Structure 1
Amino acid sequence: MGEGILDAEACRQKAVTLFQHNPNYLNAFLLIVDACDGEAVALSELEARVAEVPSYEKLKQPPFFPIHWLFEVGCLEELYLDEEGQLINQKAIAQLTEDEFDDLVFEFAYRTTELGRTVRKEFSPKTRLAVLFGDEPDRVAVYEDLLRFLYEKKSFAQIEALLRNRPELATTSRDGVKLQPSLFVDKLSATGAIAYHEGWQITEEGKEMVEG
């Protein structure tokens, strides 16, 4: 295997590790990579969009941090905007002194890299739901019914009422202990197919999986 291939795989693994080790930020990561896929997006605009991710206010880090983390692992390219919001030529930036840079650069901006697209596909709700369904085929009917139930926002009490008498809570247990409805909520939430914001609701990508 060539050195370039090894380097590329090492970079991919760093990005994958970021996603795996920060599941609470998954929806923010996906939004950022999607938003920056194509045109560069100004940092201020991106931070505002991250702040609107459901339940983001419960996380401990300001919106800048998930953006910066994605840049650090190579999922985003960092660019620069002048006072008129126009991209500054990267070659020109390299020739500037520190003072000239401060005078010219009005704001940072970000654009998704090919690595970002690759990792985004790997961690998309559609991909992760497919893996979950493949790993737990005997529970798929419960997951699908719950996803359809959440086309409208519901409380956990409503979800519990829906699932508490499902036979799968007993028949699909791996250790003989009856499953709790929260297990199904947690696993769907971990894929990004549902999200909580003043109630549980299916995400757009969750809908895509259900509607096939």
Structure 2
Amino acid sequence: MDVAALVADDLPDAAELTFEEKLAELNRTVMRHPLNREILYKTLAFCAEERPLREAEDFIAALPQFERATQNQFYMLMSLVRSYGLDMIERDEEGNRVLPEQKEGLSEDEVDDLVAEISFKSTDVGDWFVDYNKPSARLVDLLHLVPERTDTYIELLEFVEAAPRPYGQIEELLLGRSALQTVIDGRVETMQPSVFVDKLERAGALVWKEGWTLTEEGREFLEDLKVNGQA
């Protein structure tokens, strides 16, 4: 099957889109499914170097977030190709890149014989997206968004650093905190503790792995806070 041709049929000509339009499409793709969001981000970062299909699929499957993913590895890779975050590269037996003009006039079987390997590499759009959305930057934004909640976020990070925590323990830790109070349409409402978990997960700091625990990025961020006397 000529996968590259199928992808090309689904896409507007990239030359017709601005960088910002392609970035907006990539952002929509990554942010669309909460359970896949961090997987897609990490896949873009992993493919900063060209990665063969099998290596990319194995990387995705090994991520703790993949346990709850709603799509398989190949579908997620192709969604990033369709949204301009990844280039799909076809190579022949000698490792040379197969160009579209080389496949002109060939049957599907002949294309299959020509293409020995598929690999993926991030585009300029994908690279920019990864750099802009680094977990450390997302966490800084989160902690400064509502300053009166900063200490609670840090305490929660420290709580799950000690050991993976079921949600019930986190709920018990946070219930009754003033940080859960928010004003909606002039009325004081109480948020669920799950809001804090969700926001830290979206920022790339928490992952479910037999309990809520720190990601590598979350652990590094907390260590930086400790070094700077903020935790």
Deviation digits for residues 43-62 of structure 1 (CA, Å, limit 9, x no counterpart): 12211221222242333321
Corresponding position of 1:199: 211
Shift of 1:188: 0.9
Partner of 1:24: 35
8 Å Cα contact 1:26/1:192 also seen in 2: no
TM-score of the aligned structures, taking structure 2 as reference length: 0.78
Q: Would the aligned equivalents of 2:91 and 2:98 in 1 still touch at CA under 8 Å? A: no
Report if the CA contact (8 A) 2:39-2:65 is conserved. no
Aligned 1:160-175 pairs, distance under 5 A: 160-170=171-181, 173-174=182-183, 175=187
**Contact kept? 1:27, 1:53, Cα under 8 Å:** no
**C-alpha deviation, 1:82, in angstroms:** 4.0
One-letter code of the match for 1:25? N
- The aligned counterpart of 1:158 is 169
Aligned-partner Cα distance in 2 for 1:179–1:78: 43
Offset at 1:120? Answer: 1.5
| Matched AA of 1:160 | E
2:86 counterpart letter in structure 1: L
Structure-1 separation of matches of 2:123 and 2:201: 26
CA RMSD of aligned residues (A): 2.3
| 1:4-15 alignment runs, 5 A limit | 7-15=18-26
What are the equivalent positions in structure 2 for 1:42-81 lying under 5 Å apart? Answer: 42-81=52-91
| Structure 1 position 18, deviation (Å) | 1.4
Alpha-carbon deviations, 1:125-169, whole Å to 9, x = none?
222222222221110111111112222311112212222243423
Taking the aligned partners of 2:150 and 2:84, their CA distance within structure 1 comes to: 35
Corresponding position of 2:146: 136
Percent identity of paired positions between Structure 1 and Structure 2: 31
Aligned residue among 170, 180, 185 for 2:192: 180
Q: 1:67: how far off?
A: 0.7
Cα distance, 1:137–1:6 mapped onto 2, change above 3 Å: farther
**Cα distance in 1 between the residues matched to 2:188 and 2:151:** 20
Point out where structure 2 has 5 or more consecutive residues left out of the alignment. Answer: 1-14, 225-231
Structure 1's unaligned 5+ residue stretches are none
**What's 1:94 paired with?**
101
Q: Given the superposition, is the C-alpha separation of residues 94 and 5 from structure 1 closer, same or farther in structure 2, using an over 3 Å criterion? A: closer
Aligned pair count reads: 203
How far 1:177 moved relative to its partner? Answer: 2.4
CA distance in 1, matches of 2:72, 2:97: 29
- Contact persistence 1:129–1:193 (CA under 8 A): yes
Change (3 A) 1:12 1:78: same
Q: Is the 8 A contact 2:157 2:222 kept in 1?
A: yes
Aligned residue type for 1:136: V
Distance 1:147 1:87 in 2: 46
CA distance in 2, matches of 1:68, 1:127: 27
Query: Which residue is equivalent to 1:104?
Result: 114
Q: Determine whether 1:126 maps to 2:136.
A: yes
Q: Deviations over 1:67-121 (max 9, x none)?
A: 11111111111112445xx632244x63243444311322311011111011122
